[in-house]
């Protein structure tokens, strides 16, 4: 399919590049990766064009700002990243839009930075790497906590989507991964943490307070679509302090969008699509952690109606992010 739009696509400042090193294979892989993630120009555009990707919404790599323990340094880093990325995408607005990086260490500063990025740069939303550390390394703060309500009020007013992107959990907070570093990163820990963060938000009542909030998660929904029925089924017997109202599954289906980033598996796609519906699934690759070719060949080969492919590949993104695609 031509004209695809992809939205979990990463870029890095030189100073946040090291955050990605542990996730990329040997030195040849790293050379390619480093070249590709630092760049928002010719190579990226050529990799898009070869694979029928018209437009990327780009975001800073992970965990970057969320792993900075000093609040002031996090605020400065987010600003530097957003300013630099705005200049780069500004050179090619036909191909690129941006998600803001946010200093979630300070909910008020995060709200102000989001507003600045939307109003000054035309950014189409935010992408945050799950929980934030703050003050000391051994902290993990999730955004369902009451101090984030004013932040969500601003997201709701600006009416832009919020992408919750994975990071690895902290070993001190997740001792079940002890001795299994492979398990706590992208093969499993990424999804487990992002899914719990998403479900915490669903259960917090924030979507009742701000019903227009739109949250996006990648990797085919980080496992949630597969589990959604059971979550609701069990909560009927064991609600234990759940305050989200209605059925959690209804909140998820109404307020969440999922992308195909880095999960090019047809049975998983079929499950996700049948759980969340055709309007809430969006194509993405996860470049340069994944190749656009793998993402596009899989997606283009799916045996679904052409009109459905057009929605997932392109028009759902135009609608959700109010993209100005001529």
Give the residue with the Cβ less far from Zn ion, 222 or 286.
Answer: 286
For this structure, is 324 an active site residue? no
d(CA 61, CA 101): 9
CB 54 within 8 A of CB 4: yes
Smallest gap from Cβ 185 to Zn ion, in A, equals: 12
Selection from ligand GRE, Zn ion, none that 23 binds (CB < 5 to 8 A by kind) is ligand GRE
d(CA 206, CA 212): 10
Q: Which of residues 1, 6, 8, 201 is near Zn ion by CB under 5 A? A: 8
CB 263 within 8 A of CB 253: no
Give the residue with the Cβ less far from Zn ion, 207 or 287.
Answer: 287
DSSP assignment of 230-251 equals HHHHHHTT--TT--S-S-HHHH
Give the residue with the Cβ less far from ligand GRE, 96 or 152.
Answer: 96
Largest alpha-carbon pair distance within the chain?
55
Q: List binders of Zn ion among 285-314 (CB under 5 A).
A: 286
Smallest gap from Cβ 67 to ligand GRE, in A, equals: 12
H-assigned helices in the chain: 27-37, 42-49, 71-90, 107-121, 149-158, 181-184, 189-202, 206-209, 224-235, 248-255, 266-276, 292-301, 306-310, 316-320
Q: List binders of ligand GRE among 209-268 (CB under 6 A).
A: 262
Give the residue with the Cβ less far from Zn ion, 47 or 286.
Answer: 286
Helix 107-121 to helix 149-158 angle (10° resolution) is: 10
d(CA 96, CA 103): 23
Between 42 and 81, how does the x/- string for binding to ligand GRE read (CB under 6 A)? --------------------x-------------------
Smallest gap from Cβ 186 to ligand GRE, in A, equals: 4
Question: Which region, judged by CB under 5 A, interacts with Zn ion, from 2-10, 12-20, 99-107, 297-305?
Answer: 2-10
Supply the residues annotated as catalytic: 286
Name the site residues for ligand GRE (rule: CB under 6 A).
Answer: 10, 20, 23, 62, 166, 186, 262, 286, 289
């Amino acid at each position: 399919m031509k004209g695809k739009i992809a939205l979990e696509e990463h870029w890095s400042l030189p100073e946040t590049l090291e955050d990605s090193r542990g996730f990329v294979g040997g030195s040849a892989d790293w050379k390619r990766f480093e070249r590709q993630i630092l760049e928002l120009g010719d190579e990226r555009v050529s990799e898009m064009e070869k694979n029928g990707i018209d437009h990327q919404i780009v975001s800073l790599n992970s965990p970057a700002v969320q792993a900075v323990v000093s609040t002031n340094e996090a605020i400065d880093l987010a600003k530097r990243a957003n300013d630099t990325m705005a200049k780069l995408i500004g050179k090619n607005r036909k191909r690129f839009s941006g998600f803001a990086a946010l200093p979630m260490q300070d909910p008020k500063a995060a709200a102000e930075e989001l507003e600045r990025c939307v109003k000054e740069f035309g950014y189409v939303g935010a992408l945050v790497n799950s929980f934030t550390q703050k003050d000391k390394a051994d902290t993990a703060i999730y955004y369902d906590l009451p101090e984030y309500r004013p932040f969500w009020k601003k997201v709701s007013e600006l009416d832009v989507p919020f992408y919750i992107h994975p990071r690895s959990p902290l070993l001190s907070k997740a001792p079940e991964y002890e001795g299994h570093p492979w398990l706590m990163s992208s093969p499993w820990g990424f999804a487990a943490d992002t899914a719990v963060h998403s479900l915490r938000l669903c259960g917090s009542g924030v979507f009742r307070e701000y019903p227009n909030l739109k949250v996006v998660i990648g990797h085919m929904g980080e496992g949630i679509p597969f589990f959604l029925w059971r979550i609701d089924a069990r909560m009927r017997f064991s609600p234990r302090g759940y305050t989200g109202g209605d059925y959690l599954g209804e909140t998820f289906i109404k307020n969440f969008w999922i992308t195909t980033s880095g999960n090019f598996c047809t049975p998983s796609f079929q499950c996700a699509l049948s759980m969340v519906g055709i309007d809430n699934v969006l194509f993405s690759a996860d470049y340069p952690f994944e190749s656009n070719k793998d993402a596009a060949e899989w997606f283009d080969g799916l045996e679904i109606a052409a009109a459905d492919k057009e929605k997932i590949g392109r028009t759902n993104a135009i609608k959700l992010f109010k993209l100005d695609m001529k």
